[in-house]
Structure 1
Amino acid sequence: AMHDEHAADEERQALRARAAVRDEDIKRLAARLAGDRSLAARLGSWRADCPPGMLTELAEAAETAGRTAVTAEAALVEARTVR
């Protein structure tokens, strides 16, 4: 009987240890899930604020701004040279 109690106690300890490991795994997964949900919400918000085609428009605006900056820089250099 003593041997069975000892074996049962060892089994209970092993089960507790495995349950503790699972609890930690669950906590890590829950944290990742919360992060994923937060990211999904941010992406949804971004999609609402940035409809299809908006990135193309922004890229074109950036390109135009770049060309304007080059032209302005050239005009500035010319103006400094004239002085």
Structure 2
Amino acid sequence: MAASKVKQDMPPTGGYGPVDYRRNLPRRGLSGYSMFGVGVGLMVFGYWRLFRWNRERRRLHIEELEARISLLPLLQAEHDRR
């Protein structure tokens, strides 16, 4: 049996080229400061809407109480009539 001659893989002469291993991701989205500013702006807007809604709700509650107070003599007269 004749031994077969095996050719081993070797690097090319001069070596391989440099391997690019850095992350090359494009910058996306808003910066941290702008996201913080947007968050603060949304919070201020939300609190402003909440303040307006609470004022309106308080006004509606007072209106409902005034309606009940104005109907109280009528309801009392109906009750006394029976």
Correspondences of 1:8-47 after superposition (within 5 Å): 8-47=39-78
Whose Rg is larger? 2
**Number of aligned residues:** 51
Distance 1:40 1:18 in 2: 33
RMSD of aligned C-alpha atoms?
Answer: 1.5
Q: Deviations over 1:30-54 (max 9, x none)?
A: 1001111112222101223457xxx
Could you state the TM-score of these two structures normalised by the residue count of structure 1? 0.55
Distance 1:42 1:17 in 2: 39
Q: Deviations over 1:17-71 (max 9, x none)?
A: 00000010011011001111112222101223457xxxxxxxxxxxxxxxxxxxx
Could you state the TM-score of these two structures normalised by the residue count of structure 2? 0.55
SS at match of 1:2: helix
Q: Using the aligned pairs only, state the percent identity.
A: 12
Unaligned runs of 5+ in 2: 1-31
Distance 2:79 2:64 in 1: 22
Higher helix content, 1 or 2: 1
